[in-house]
Amino acid sequence: MLAMPARREGMEISQTDGQDHAVVSLPGGRYLRLGRDAALLLADLDGTRCREEVLAQWSAEVGEDSAVQLLEKLCALGLLEDPDGPPPVRERAFVYRKPLSFQFTLVRPRRLTGVLRVVGGVLARRPFPQVYLALLAAGAVAVAVGHRGLAHAVSTQVSLGTVFQVWAAMLAVGAVHELGHATALARFGGRPRRIGVMLFYLVPAFFCDVSAGWKLADRGQRVRVALSGVVVNAGVAAAAAIAAALSEGETAAFWWLLTCYNVISTVFNLLPFVKLDGYLALMGRVDVPFLRDKAIGDARGWLGRVLYGHPRDEKRLDRPWAVPFGLAAMAFPVAWMGFLLTRILIVPSILSWGIAGAVLWLLLVTVAAGRLLYTTARIAFPRRGQGLRASRGRRLLGLGVVAAAAGALLFAVPVDGAATAGYVVLDGRPVLAMPTSGGAVDAVHPGETVQLRSVGMIGRPVVATAVVDSPPSAPVQVPSAAFSAVKGGSGHTVAVLYRLREVHGHPLPGGGRATVDTGTTTLAGRLADTYLLPPLRLLTGLG
């Protein structure tokens, strides 16, 4: 224990009247919530008195045992100066946040706080809220009137210029989204700490550190700070829908895509299972810091008790929905990786990047599988001090049961097999085109059903069906644009061709995606065909 206890330099202690706790702001950007007595003791430690003098004074206030415990707690939390300990944590530009977020600070908007506070005050006054609600209503009407144009824009190819325009617009909207958080926080008296860019579950995005919102005593204000970003996205979506309804051609496609991407961004940000706006709003509303971590801890404890016989552990979150919420938060990273691979980085698009695409694909699969295995191991074998544990034999028995159930699910449950390809139109007839690099050439046989799809930035609806009518041809070059949502590409892809018969529907003249029904397989086979074999085929072919 330190001889002359003193609080670390650079921290701020915020105590609100009527509250039984205080919020401590640390130089490294973290916030801690302390009880009233602990916060008062921390504020009193200026390094001018020895430990015995401090304990003598505070023993009269809270009792000798409580005074000793409070001082030890402050020391354990690293809130006191320690000449022999590690140096104080400084604010760094690059920060890693668990479970999978890499943040790089671009701006520390301390000097902008006053300006943002004025802007927030103006936007909160009439007539701006009423204008915003009218904008949302007009946007909803525009979507209802122009829904056919919307469906066409998201499910057909667009020009490369439109793609870049949409990306640039979403980049600008992302920046304004974060400024929305900063403006709301400044309006309620807080100070945004950092604004920057990040990789969030391997997806690039902006971020704004509004952890100072914990210093707001009003829970409603915390919720409004958390949701002010999606207010921006919803407003942009409504305005874009109105512009799309008044436009035609490629211009309308741009506005409709901007509408959809902002709606998707709004929905994704509202998911409470990841540390985004919806989670921050929920955490601020229930007034429980580290809500996700506590719920995941309770979910792991429940699974450990059910599967491995661990003794009942003390609940970390006293809410009836803690375990279901924790289970959903645990499952999200793996589910997101699967969605990222199958709906965004789709075969054969990513494999057209060659060996780099195959390596990236396998890296994402490895991260998702590693996360799943790590979570399983943490449940079966919790670290010491992180929960009660059953005997080793009981845990091994539980692992055996889990492995047997997983094996039965993977190898005994039949699922429909499918192979992803494309199609091109030759001499007025659609022809199935299976890329040789990463494609499942050996999985396609005559007589199998094929769904011919349109290729869009978001939607891929079925436009026709057909049946495979021939074995594969010799490898030939086909336009790569047939596999892409971007029209007008000049590249080519090496593929084998299959004739098709019994074509029903309206195949697109420029070609598109195709899905081949390859019969029944096991879940393990389907997962391997979807996630492992395409990049491995490509790497093997290159090797």
Residue 82 lies in a domain: no
In the block, residue with structure tokens 């544990």: 389
Q: Rounded to whole angstroms, how far apart are CA atoms 368 and 337?
A: 6
pLDDT tens digit string along 267-309? 999 999 988 899 999 998 998 888 898 999 889 888 888 888 7
108 and 219 in a single domain? The answer is yes
Question: Residue 452's domain is classified under what CATH number?
Answer: 2.40.30
pLDDT tens digit string along 172-222? 999 999 999 999 999 998 888 888 888 887 678 888 888 778 778 788 999
387 and 372 in a single domain? The answer is yes
Choice between 261 and 353, residue whose per-residue pLDDT is larger: 261
Residue 2 lies in a domain: no
Contacts of 15-19 spanning 24+ positions with Cβ under 8 A:
15/39, 16/215, 16/217, 18/217, 19/217
pLDDT tens digit string along 451-494? 999 988 888 899 999 999 999 999 898 888 777 888 876 778 88
pLDDT of 345 above 60: no
487 and 344 in a single domain? The answer is no
The helix/strand/coil state of 473 is coil
433 and 511 in a single domain? The answer is yes
Say what the pLDDT of residue 280 is: 92
Q: What angle do CA 235, 236, 237 make, to 5 degrees?
A: 90
Q: Rounded to whole angstroms, how far apart are CA atoms 170 and 262?
A: 8
Residue 90 lies in a domain: no
Q: Rounded to whole angstroms, how far apart are CA atoms 422 and 512?
A: 6
Choice between 158 and 361, residue whose per-residue pLDDT is larger: 158
Determine contact, residues 493/473, Cβ cutoff 8 Å.
no
255 and 161 in a single domain? The answer is yes
Q: For the chain, give the percent of residues with pLDDT over 70.
A: 86
Residue 83 lies in a domain: no
Q: Domain residues for 374?
A: 291-412
Which of 76, 104, 130 is at the close of a domain?
A: 76
Determine contact, residues 177/261, Cβ cutoff 8 Å.
no
Say what the pLDDT of residue 360 is: 80
Instruction: Please tell me the pTM assigned to this model.
Output: 0.80
Which of 269, 286, 303 is at the close of a domain?
A: 286
Q: For the chain, give the percent of residues with pLDDT over 90.
A: 31
126 and 171 in a single domain? The answer is yes
427 and 492 in a single domain? The answer is yes
User: Which residue type is seen at 415?
Assistant: V
CA dihedral of residues 275, 276, 281, 286 (deg, nearest 10): -10
Residue 88 lies in a domain: no
Q: Rounded to whole angstroms, how far apart are CA atoms 387 and 232?
A: 42
Say what the pLDDT of residue 333 is: 79
The H-or-E segment that residue 103 falls in is strand 101-107
243 and 146 in a single domain? The answer is yes
* DSSP bridge pairs for 486: 158
395 and 428 in a single domain? The answer is no
**Total structural domains within the chain:** 4
Choice between 136 and 95, residue whose per-residue pLDDT is larger: 136
Residue 6 lies in a domain: no
Residue 5 lies in a domain: no
Say what the pLDDT of residue 237 is: 97
Q: How confident is the model at residue 18 (pLDDT cuts 50, 70, 90)?
A: low
pLDDT tens digit string along 424-448? 998 889 999 988 875 577 788 899 9
The alpha-helical segments, DSSP class H, found in 14-127 are 36-44, 51-62, 64-76, 113-123
Which of 412, 444, 478 is at the close of a domain?
A: 412
Q: What number is the average pLDDT over the span 242-264?
A: 95
Choice between 490 and 241, residue whose per-residue pLDDT is larger: 241
| Nearest residue to 227 (alpha-carbon basis) of 177, 169, 173 | 177
274 and 227 in a single domain? The answer is yes
Determine contact, residues 43/59, Cβ cutoff 8 Å.
no
pLDDT of 266 above 80: yes
Mean pLDDT of the chain: 83
> Of 8-12, 185-189, 323-327, which gets the smallest average pLDDT?
8-12
Say what the pLDDT of residue 3 is: 64
Q: How confident is the model at residue 2 (pLDDT cuts 50, 70, 90)?
A: low
| Nearest residue to 190 (alpha-carbon basis) of 375, 336, 369, 31 | 31
184 and 250 in a single domain? The answer is yes
29 and 118 in a single domain? The answer is no
Backbone angles phi, psi at 297, to 5 degrees: -60, -40
Determine contact, residues 257/166, Cβ cutoff 8 Å.
yes
